[in-house]
Chain A
Amino acid sequence: EPEVTQTPSHQVTQMGQEVILRCVPISNHLYFYWYRQILGQKVEFLVSFYNNEISEKSEIFDDQFSVERPDGSNFTLKIRSTKLEDSAMYFCASTSGGQGNYGYTFGSGTRLTVV
């Protein structure tokens, strides 16, 4: 069964450093997402991406965050200057978004720890 692949599975970084989280969505999917889950809290939407541009973003997704699809297969989330409160599980998801198909597939996540 097709999977969404995320790397790395765990990243530890110092406060103020830049991190890039990587995702390979399912190949025929058209819509891509980043979500995050702070330990013990809800899964929260960060950003959606379609047709090579951001289609929607949440209040969490401020100027420190950016997304990119550099080569037609990878989908990245960059945090420019990490803060302690950025520590969370970050999940990439994708969906084809077609008629009658609204199953989002999530990756296993990257656990980001900011120290």
Chain B
Amino acid sequence: QKEVEQDPGPLSVPEGAIVSLNCTYSNSAFQYFMWYRQYSRKGPELLMYTYSSGNKEDGRFTAQVDKSSKYISLFIRDSQPSDSATYLCAMSAQTGANNLFFGTGTRLTVIP
């Protein structure tokens, strides 16, 4: 049983579009949810993190968590060519010692 599932894409959108990225998960113990951006051959860079259910907004990025559906989303408004990267969802049951479970990543290309 896969812990975290994420559509690998690739996803291509025109500049200025709204992008929706999603992950589903199976472990109801997950409470901390993160989105990372990863450029080719670089380390994951933390974009957003949320605890439990709800929304969080940071500039053009909005993260949503629906624990009842075991579904998380990342929305990117007014997408820019510089947003082109692989987006990874990650989650854990608790902060600190527990490891992160990652999705496969969705490769996004924003076309100028």
Chain A residues within CB distance 8 Å of chain B: 4, 6, 30-31, 33, 35, 41-45, 48, 50, 55-56, 58, 89, 91, 95, 97-98, 100-109, 111
B102 x A108 contact (CB < 8 A) = no
8 further A-B contacts with Cβ under 8 Å, apart from A30-B96, A58-B99, are: A4-B43, A44-B102, A48-B99, A103-B34, A103-B46, A104-B100, A109-B41, A111-B41
Candidates A30, A42, A97; contact of B102 at CB < 8 Å? A42
In the complex, A100 Cα to B104 Cα: how many Å? 26
B61 to chain A, nearest CB (A): 14
A69 to chain B, nearest CB (A): 15
Which chain A residue has the least Cβ–Cβ distance from B103? Answer: A42
B42 x A104 contact (CB < 8 A) = no
Chain B interface residue number, banded: 20 to 34
In the complex, A85 Cα to B105 Cα: how many Å? 21
B102 x A102 contact (CB < 8 A) = no
A102-B95 contact in complex given A42-B102, A42-B104, A43-B102, C-beta closer than 8 Å: yes
The listed residue with most B CB atoms (<10 A of its CB), out of A4, A42, A101, is A42
In the complex, A30 Cα to B45 Cα: how many Å? 19
For window 11-50 of chain B, which residues contact chain A by CB distance below 8 Å? 32, 34, 36, 41-46, 49
A102-B45 contact in complex given A95-B95, A95-B96, C-beta closer than 8 Å: no
CB 8 Å contact bits of B74-92 with A (1 = contact, 0 = none): 0000000000000010101
B100 x A108 contact (CB < 8 A) = no
Candidates A44, A58, A91, A111; contact of B44 at CB < 8 Å? A91
| B51 within 8 A of partner (CB) | yes
A91-B43 contact in complex given A43-B88, A102-B92, C-beta closer than 8 Å: yes
Contacts of B88 in A (CB 8 A): 43
A100 to chain B, nearest CB (A): 8
A97 x B99 contact (CB < 8 A) = no
Contacts of B105 in A (CB 8 A): 42
